[in-house]
Amino acid sequence: MPFLHLDDADIYYESHGEGVPFLFLSGTATHGEVWKRHQVPEFSRDHRVIIFDQRATGKTKARSERLSTKLLADDAAALLAHLGASDAVVLGHSMGGRVAQLAGP
């Protein structure tokens, strides 16, 4: 299983398809699996779709109880850097939208 190992968390992620990177950010307390029903099959036809479990969700393990929009945005930015996907299209739902606004360049 692919993980991005940070100082205080191991972020679980998946990458599907090839092309322009497309990062999906879930809403509060929702893991990345939610994107697999419709978005991953549709957009992975011509994009590299990246989904992940934010802190306190899914397979991601945090060693700290700290949680903030800024911290989640830092995680997303670190994941994009790790994957060499700094030019990604970023889409977020609900809290994921707030995270997306902070995760940009």
Are the C-beta atoms of 36 and 101 separated by less than 8 Å? no
Tell me how far apart the alpha carbons of residues 17 and 41 are, in angstroms, rounded to a whole number: 9
pTM for this prediction? 0.94
Q: How is domain 3-103 classified at the CATH fold level?
A: Rossmann fold (3.40.50)
Task: Give the angle 104-55-86 at the CA atoms, nearest 5°.
Answer: 25
Amino acid at 42: E
Element housing 73 (H / E): helix 69-82
Name the residue type at position 93.
H
Per-residue pLDDT 10s for the chain (105 aa) are 799 999 999 999 999 999 999 999 999 999 999 999 999 999 999 999 999 999 999 999 999 998 999 999 999 999 999 999 989 999 999 999 999 998 765
Residue 105, pLDDT score: 55
* The pLDDT value given to residue 91: 96
Would you list the domain boundaries of the chain? 3-103
